[in-house]
Amino acid sequence: MEYQINQLRDYSSLFSRSEALSWLKMDFTSINYKIERYDEKWLEDQNSTYLDYLKHIYSVLADSYQNEYIFKNEFLNTWLIKELGETNSQIFSEFRVGNSIADLAMFNGCSKIFEIKTEFDSDSRLKVQLQNYEKAFNQIFIIIPKSKLNIYEKQEASIGIITYDPKSDNSFSLHRNANANFEIEPSTIMSILHTNEYKSIVSEHYGYLPQMTSFNQYNVCSELIYEIPLNQLNKLFIKTMKKRSSCNALSSRYYKEFNQLFLALRMNRNSKNKMIESLKTTIQI
């Protein structure tokens, strides 16, 4: 079935944080609007739930409109969740580094960052983004449509490239691995860390916390963190980020269409189950 681009864009708006929060409140206004506008015929044929409809829309988007949500969610499902299950890892969505926000960040034995560029994205900000990421992360990957490989292959050889081809049996393929970089920048690390985190790093490395007040603690700890050898700081940073509160609702088997929403909203299993139970409500228009 052919879909108009505006219809696909409209569909894609359903997979957003604000929509998921509405579902938790049993508010299905936006879904009802989409059904009335585009899919009354689909509804006539079955006694369906809102969960059924969202799974249907996800499959339409996966086939016809690989926007950032689809890219990110499919990568989570086919790549990162597997790695998460095999290692003591942490995954974050929309991870701020300096003035840039990376799509996905992962901490296990090293720190990895993933920047997604879809068919609809420009590469105009990519150079600045990569420069920011290099200040804090050991490996940097860009995830791109296979059709755009000739454009992004020109990036520095240290940047890893993962291609996406939804028509392939292996939708994500490692085209080029990322070189390891351990020359992290202490000021960037400080900007990422929460107060309790940078104090913990200082305490662990030096064996004590110096006297400080709430007014000068950032500067005191910053000066001490600047003195930590970079290879040690890198290890302490990774160890600290792996302790940060995380989402434990991801699944490689059930409700995979929503994994990126679970991650973005930092949902625990209780919140996830509440949302899914809400979506099992029979559609009423």
Residue 246 has pLDDT above 90, yes or no: no
Residue 250 has pLDDT above 90, yes or no: no
- Interatomic CA distance for residues 212 and 198, integer angstroms: 13
Residue 270 has pLDDT above 70, yes or no: yes
Report the pLDDT averaged over residues 228-239.
97
Supply the pLDDT for residue 121.
Answer: 87
Supply the pLDDT for residue 87.
Answer: 61
For a pLDDT cut of 90, what percent of the chain falls above it? Answer: 76
Q: Where are the domains of the chain?
A: 5-65+253-279, 69-176, 186-243
- Confidence grade of residue 166 (pLDDT, cut at 50, 70, 90): confident
Residue 18 has pLDDT above 60, yes or no: yes
- Please name which of 282, 182, 199 lies closest in space to residue 238, comparing C-alpha atoms: 182
Better pLDDT: 139 or 244:
139
- Assign 170 to helix, strand or coil: coil
> pLDDT averaged over the chain?
92
Supply the pLDDT for residue 202.
Answer: 98
- Tell how far CA 38 is from the center of its chain: 30
Better pLDDT: 249 or 202:
202
Class of domain 69-176: alpha beta
The arrangement of strands across the sheet holding 139-145 comes to: 90-97, 100-107, 111-116, 139-145, 160-164, 172-176
- Match 């662990």 to its residue by tokens: 204
Supply the pLDDT for residue 252.
Answer: 74
Supply the pLDDT for residue 80.
Answer: 83
Q: How far apart are the first and last CA of the chain?
A: 24
Report the pLDDT averaged over residues 51-59.
97
Q: What is the pLDDT of residues 67-114, one digit of tens each?
A: 999 999 999 998 887 776 656 788 999 999 999 999 999 998 899 999
Supply the pLDDT for residue 58.
Answer: 97
- Interatomic CA distance for residues 29 and 34, integer angstroms: 9
Report the pLDDT averaged over residues 53-71.
94
Q: What is the pLDDT of residues 176-224, one digit of tens each?
A: 999 999 999 999 999 999 999 999 999 999 999 999 999 999 999 999 9
**Nearby residues of 34 by Cβ (< 8 Å), 6 or more positions away:** 10, 11, 14, 57
Q: What is the CA radius of gyration of the chain?
A: 21
